[in-house]
Every structure is written in structure tokens, then in C-alpha cells.
Amino acid sequence: MSRAKTLFLVTRPWSFTFTALVILFSSLLPLARGLAVDWALVAVALAGSILLHAMVNLLNDYYDYTRHVDRPGVGTVEYRPHPIVHGILTPRGTLLYGLASGMAGLALALLATLSRPYAIVLGGLGFILAYSYSGTPLGLKYKGLGELGVYLAWGILIPVGAYYLASGMLSLYPVAAVLPLALGIVAVLMANNIRDIEDDRKAGVRTIETIMGYRGSTLLFKATIYAVYATGLVVGLLWRELLPGALLGLLTLPQALRVASMFDSGSPPPDADPRVAAMLQRYAVLYMVGLALYLALTRLPL
């Protein structure tokens, strides 16, 4: 495997799918409001958000390693290349790689400011939140606030930013429309944290899951999964352009039930979170396809 490919893989590119789906979905939403979309700026939003996401992943690996959370034998390093544990990068190299990715994303936000003056504000907030997930002094992940940080990023900042870059309009409409997808991303993090409860406790990491324990956090995880479908239907009833996607998303409900049952045994598999992510990504694709079909059938200009 080439060095470049290895360095790409340590950013966990498979996790970027959700970011791309949220960006693309949010960028389609202006069309339902009769607004034109600047697809060049959508591409900027997509690239910038993925670079910030890479920053989150790399800094998380760095800080988890320095806190002795990530080490040989724990679940999170069993199914993917870890930049430090597997000797791909030094700790310092991982930290600098993450910060460089974030700065590149911030530079794209600065570029977008030429036509969207608030882009740098949204990009700056995204950079701060991306760093604060694992980085000092906040370290949201280690204080039981990881899920909140993830929701703020994928449920508010990214959809509002994508909608704004696409249309030039600031609106809370994308926050409501993206709610099912944001809850799905939170559920993926919960699956990861449930699997890692014992390892996190040994390392002194305080997450919602270590606080609630295995049974309580599993119940909350299942409730979050079901809330994805429930909120999809609610927003679909409130905004008709979202209803086709919410109905199509129900096709994944049987798979959601199977995924949720992985945690009933008390010993979820090491790749529990990728399995949850795969299922919820299918929901997200169908949710977006439903919106695209609505736009096509109503002949709104692309």
C-alpha cells in the first residue's frame, strides 16, 4: 500500500459519507423554496466540511492515544488503521496532520467569504467545535458531551452552512429537515461508546455511556434509532417535500431492528459502529432520494 493511500485511510474516509450526505441534502433544500443553488460553492462546502471531519478523526486518535484510551487490543483499533498504535505516524505527526486538515478547511471557508460573507464565521465555529471534541481544554468527548458536540456539528453548523453557501440565505429550515440524519450520526457515536464502555472506564474517560452503564445506554441508543424514523415522519408531515424521503427511509426499519439487537447480548462486535453507520447511511440516501424525486416531479429548476 502506498504511503499516500495509508495517510488517507488513517483519516477514516468511510466516515465522511455522512458528512457528504448532510451537505448534499442541505444543498438540495433551497430548491424546495424556489431558490437557485450555486453548485461551485456546494463543492467548497463539501470539501471544507470533509477536511474538518478529518481533523476531528485525527485529533481524536491523538488525544485518545495520549490518554491511553486507544491501545493494542481495544475495539476501536481492531478493525481500522490507527495512525499511532499501528506505527503509521508519530503522535506529533498525527496532531499536526489533524490541525493541517482543519486549517485547509478553514482556508476554503475564507475563500467562500468572497461571495458569502458569513462563511468564515460558520467555518470558524466549525473549526472550534472540531478541535474541542477531543482537544484541550474542553475535550467534550471526555466530559460526557461528545454526543452534544456531534449534534451541534452535523445537526446545526453543517446543514446551516451548506444551505447558506448553496443559496446565500441563512435559515433554520435545514436544521429541522436534517434532524433525522443528525440523530443517526449521534446513534453511530453511541454505538461506538457502548462497545468501549469498559475500556473508557479503565482510561478514566467519562461518556454518557459510562455514566448510564451498558443497559441504560443501550436503551437510549435504541430510542435514538427509533427517533430517526419518528422525526423523519414528523418533519415530512410538516414539510411535504420531506415526506417521500421519510417514507422511503422506512424500508431500512427491519435492518435497524437487527442492528439494535446486536447490543442485547451484552457483548457487541468490535465493528458495531460501522454496522450501525452502514444501516443509517442507507436511510440517509433514501431520505435524500425522496427529496430529489419530489423536486423532479414538481419540476423545480436544478
User: What CATH number is given for 3-297 in this structure?
Assistant: 1.10.600
Within the chain, what is the greatest distance between any pair of CA atoms? 57
The pLDDT value given to residue 267: 75
The pLDDT value given to residue 78: 63
The pLDDT value given to residue 79: 65
3-state secondary structure the chain: CCHHHHHHHCCCHHHHHHHHHHHHHHHHHHHHCCCCCCHHHHHHHHHHHHHHHHHHHHHHHHHHHHCCCCCCCCHHHCCCCCCCCCCCCCHHHHHHHHHHHHHHHHHHHHHHCCCCCCHHHHHHHHHHHHHHCCCCCCCHHHECCHHHHHHHHHHHHHHHHHHHHHHCCCCCHHHHHCHHHHHHHHHHHHHHHHHCHHHHHHCCCECHHHHHHHHHHHHHHHHHHHHHHHHHHHHHHHCHHHHHHHHHHHHHHHHHHHHHHHHHHCCCCCCHHHHHHHHHHHHHHHHHHHHHHHHHHCCCCC
CB 70 within 8 A of CB 49: no
The pLDDT value given to residue 68: 82
The pLDDT value given to residue 43: 97
The pLDDT value given to residue 76: 64
The pLDDT value given to residue 74: 64
The pLDDT value given to residue 301: 52
**Mind listing the pLDDT tens digit for each residue in 136-166?**
999 999 999 999 999 999 999 999 999 999 9
* pLDDT < 50 positions in the chain: 302
The pLDDT value given to residue 239: 97
The pLDDT value given to residue 232: 98
The pLDDT value given to residue 200: 86
Q: Degrees (nearest 5) of the Cα angle 282, 59, 148? A: 55
